[in-house]
Structure 1
Amino acid sequence: MSHQPFQVICEIEPPTRPDLKHVRHQIGTLGKVADSFLIPDNHIGRATVSSLAVAHEVEAMGGRSIACLNARDRNLLGFQRDMLTAAAYGVDQFLFVYGDKPAAGSRTGQLTVRTMLEEVRAAAQGAAFAGVQPFRVGTAAGLRPLPPWKRSADFVFVQVSFSLDALLEWREANPVEVPVYAGVMVLASENHARRLAAAIPDIDIPTALVEKVATDRLAGVEATCEHILRIRESGAFDGVHLIPVARYREVAASLEELL
């Protein structure tokens, strides 16, 4: 673990319409507890406003941003365009992911996370990016052995888990020198739990928590905030990747009090 203070990286719900008001509200509300913001890219296979544009908006509001870019929707030329756009916007932090299954259509099939990482490292040496702030690039990891090539990233986001023991077991088995952020998510409802279990087959969602959120809409918020505190106290992670879903107001209020 690095010596930087424990970081809370809050995920923004990206807009599916050409309107950034809701994004600005999330940034303003979470700003007191977030050290930076992660902006998803075509979230869960639906078209959204560009993560680069939203990241630029975060920076304009005085925050720090990490723009997510998925391999699913890009060919090499499109990816090179995005890197130039990011440099022009002053966006310098990214999370490269494979991408959720698209709601319609199919993958381009040309890029992978690994080739994106290799491409951005090579581009940094090119004349087009001379004088540009070096990009920091992270990768996502499941609770499985971390491939050697992912260890070359600047930081790692570990998948959402409701179990501190599972996270600590993964961390011990996968020592890396770069910052590692544990994924935490607010469980909003029973239906949300079912969708999450279907999307991440190896995730373990406590039955007791599912039963609590069925009768108390804030139970998921309380459990997540307690989970974050336990992760911080463990000293095993550099921070968390927090996904507040629609409960960002409640999460902000609770975390501000606790942290």
Structure 2
Amino acid sequence: MNLIAACIGGIAVWVTGRTRRQARRWRARRFWKNMGDRGVTVVVGVHERNQLYVWERSGLIGLGDAEAMASVEEQLRSFGFDSTVRPTGDMPSSELRRDLVLVGGPDGNRVTAQMIPRLRPALTFGFPRWTTHEVAVADSATGHEYYPEYDDDGSLAADYGVVVRTLNPLADDGTEIVILAGCWGNGTAAAADSLRGMAIHRHGVSTRRSFEALVKVAVVNGRNHVITVVDVRALQHADISAV
């Protein structure tokens, strides 16, 4: 009897785990489906006109942005969707009207900087002092500001990231943009990885429609660990449900 009970318990654990994995995958695929069917361009910011240029003439990107880019590509590829990666300096105006995933905030990605002021309604999670490179997410709805957290030795202990999905403000044919931006690169990577899990998709707001979200990630030895969804808000006047 004990052996039978143990077998039943083991099967139940396996079924529960499998069901949860399938649910995560199903929700993630629903998130990407409309954009994936049309084809996605992943736009990454490249540091090319400052002091880093002397180290690499092709341009440099941050590790967190690279991880976010790889995460998005892997998610799309796992669902059978194609994607193209472009640096911000290699984006003709015609391609700005396509379905885009913008990796990096306005201080690191010029396309993100161009898109955010054009979004209606305006985002409540933003980077108001990005021109001075002050890394913090400001919540205009509550007045609260979220700053990265550090250990006693100055090492990053926690970072924040913002996820936005909405209609492309430069197009009128239903194409969309996804913005993945963090205070530091860890937050950007966490924003991308949050789309894999269920928490962001089960926060009472449909991620198939326009929304913005704030996530927090614990950082140990420079690497991301637990990602927590702080809040998810619908963008009421930018409905893409009919697209």
Please say whether Structure 1 and Structure 2 have the same fold, judged by a TM-score greater than 0.5.
no
Relative contact order (C-alpha < 8 Å, sep 6+): which is higher?
1
Structure having the larger proportion of residues in helix: 1
